[in-house]
Chain A
Amino acid sequence: MTTSLPQVAWQAALGLVATLGFAIGFNLPRGALSRVGLVGMAGFLVRFGMLTLGHSVAAASFAAAFFMGVVGYYGARTFRYPRVLFTVTGIIPLVPGIPAYQAILEFSHGNLSLGLENLVRASWVIIALAAGLTAARGFTWPERILP
């Protein structure tokens, strides 16, 4: 699969808008908006890059969550914000809303096997996101944000 620069730029812009949209919805402090937006966009691009390279959605989501967990740790140390701001807000755009929605749609149409397939796909991605964040937390333990 080939990817052009405009495609990458378009994905980056969409990732930034999605992260900032949810960040404002979650009442994120104003001073942290741009930094969290950039971390979310970078995580979005990590996942896009891995998908482009042919990896599975779950592996790409794990890598993106791990990346955001590690970057969030250093971001938290540098900018004196709790790490949760960078990690949880950044990964929300990666939550598989579309497979979850498709699962709902298939169940509502009585297509149980397709619904279950989508549900399992969505669950794998959610588990991968949680595992990525937890692995990053273990990788950067102990936290030392304040001196």
Chain B
Amino acid sequence: MTLASLSQVPKAADSAPDHRKHDPGLSEALRLVSRIGVLTARAGAAAFRVRECMRRTALAFGAAEAEVVVTPEAICASVADDFGSETLVTRIVPGGVNMNALCRIEMLTREIAAEPHRYSTTRVIRALDAIELAPPLYPPWVTVLSLGAACAAFCGVIHGSPWQMAAAFVGACSGQTLRLYAHARQAPTVAVVTLSAFASCCFSELALLVEGRLAASLGVADLGPDLARLASVLYLIPGVGLVTSWIDIIHFDLSAGLARAAHASLILGCIAAGLLMFLQLNAWLAP
């Protein structure tokens, strides 16, 4: 049994000529398949999707059997052919949801499965490098504004007034900006979510104060029910984690599903902590 970390998985394309284009050998195939699994899992895929991508690639590379166990922390893959079997455990470095990477990996594995003779080891490694190193498709300010707009839309869904929607937009944009800034500096997730929730609450409340004065000058007495604070933290709710945890459990990937559910609960707890900090501050500042 071979143990390897992510850093040991090949990343750069080999310059040496590839003499076994159709059959890269069990060890090499296993490393490629494990890397595909790691990238798929990091992009936010459910365990069954990671397993499908890995299995179809392993079988296309000539493995007679492929077995994969996926947990949120690591992937254990085992492949076998007529001459023996090999197992590799690869640790997953956590990452955010990345639909572009997920889309490209799924298409790549489907193409490999459909036409394996077209894909040499070198070509697959190059394709995986391109996926892993691809920059985000949208600049940070677009992400900030779009998530702010989504939170404002949620505020409208729960019958928030346009004033409340505007405050939710300001709060969500401020929190997301802080979240991007902290992520870029590799701050721990727990601290990032807590502080982002706190910032969103504070800025949505500030926006409501400003709007209150503006509304008073326009002769509007009421800004509607207080929903802005609620909607401004909704971008932090781990929707993908919550849904994929149940999808994993339904597919009987219990360890992956329960671990994802635990992580999603931790994120919810962090939002609660940020909210509590805001409520304490609000109570302290209130006359």
Residues of chain A having any CB pair with chain B under 8 Å: 10-11, 13-15, 17-18, 20-30, 32, 80-82, 84-85, 88-89, 91-93, 95, 97-98, 100-102, 104-105, 107-108, 126-127, 129-131, 133-134, 145-147
Residues of chain B contacted by A146 (CB below 8 angstroms): 110-111, 114
Q: Are B239 and A134 in contact (CB under 8 A)?
A: no
Q: Are A101 and B146 in contact (CB under 8 A)?
A: no
Q: Are B103 and A29 in contact (CB under 8 A)?
A: yes
Is B36 located at the chain interface by the 8 A CB criterion? no
Report if A97-B146 is in contact (Cβ < 8 Å); known contacts: A82-B106, A88-B240: no
Residues of chain A contacted by B148 (CB below 8 angstroms): 21
Mask, B205-243, CB within 8 Å of A = 1, is 000000000000000000000000010011101011011
CB distance from A131 to the nearest CB of B (A): 7
CB distance from A37 to the nearest CB of B (A): 11
Residues of chain A contacted by B103 (CB below 8 angstroms): 28-29, 32, 81-82, 84-85
Residues of chain B contacted by A89 (CB below 8 angstroms): 99
Is B49 located at the chain interface by the 8 A CB criterion? yes
B280 nearest in chain A by CB position: A108
Report if A24-B143 is in contact (Cβ < 8 Å); known contacts: A32-B103, A82-B106: yes
Q: What are 10 A-B pairs at a CB distance below 8 A?
A: A23-B99, A25-B147, A26-B98, A29-B103, A80-B107, A82-B103, A88-B243, A89-B99, A130-B250, A133-B247
| CA of A96 to CA of B99, assembled, Å | 21
Q: What number of residue pairs across chains A and B have CB atoms under 8 A from each other?
A: 148
Q: Are B247 and A98 in contact (CB under 8 A)?
A: no
Known: A27-B137, A104-B275. 15 other contacts (CB 8 A): A20-B150, A22-B239, A23-B99, A25-B150, A26-B44, A84-B103, A95-B239, A97-B234, A101-B234, A126-B246, A129-B246, A130-B250, A133-B247, A134-B247, A146-B110
Residues of chain B contacted by A23 (CB below 8 angstroms): 99, 146
Q: Are A26 and B272 in contact (CB under 8 A)?
A: no
A104 nearest in chain B by CB position: B272
Residues of chain B contacted by A95 (CB below 8 angstroms): 237, 239, 242-243
| CA of A10 to CA of B99, assembled, Å | 28
* Interface pick from B63-71, B73-81, B116-124, B151-159: B151-159
Residues of chain A contacted by B152 (CB below 8 angstroms): 17
Cross-interface CB contact of B247 among A15, A22, A101, A130, cutoff 8 Å: A130
A11 nearest in chain B by CB position: B157
Mask, B246-272, CB within 8 Å of A = 1, is 110111000000000000000010011
Residues of chain A contacted by B234 (CB below 8 angstroms): 97-98, 101
CB distance from B251 to the nearest CB of A (A): 7
| CA of A32 to CA of B247, assembled, Å | 23
| CA of A136 to CA of B157, assembled, Å | 26
Q: Are B153 and A17 in contact (CB under 8 A)?
A: yes
Is B149 located at the chain interface by the 8 A CB criterion? yes
Residues of chain A contacted by B247 (CB below 8 angstroms): 130, 133-134
CB distance from B147 to the nearest CB of A (A): 5
| CA of A108 to CA of B272, assembled, Å | 7
| CA of A36 to CA of B249, assembled, Å | 26
Residues of chain A contacted by B237 (CB below 8 angstroms): 95, 97, 100-101
Report if A17-B106 is in contact (Cβ < 8 Å); known contacts: A101-B234, A108-B272, A130-B250: no
Residues of chain A contacted by B125 (CB below 8 angstroms): none
| CA of A97 to CA of B200, assembled, Å | 15
Is B102 located at the chain interface by the 8 A CB criterion? yes
| CA of A104 to CA of B197, assembled, Å | 12
| CA of A130 to CA of B240, assembled, Å | 11
B150-176 residues with Cβ-Cβ distance < 8 A to A are 150-154, 156-158
| CA of A30 to CA of B139, assembled, Å | 13
Cross-interface CB contact of A27 among B111, B138, B240, cutoff 8 Å: B138
Report if A134-B250 is in contact (Cβ < 8 Å); known contacts: A25-B150, A27-B136: yes
Cross-interface CB contact of A28 among B99, B149, B268, B272, cutoff 8 Å: B99
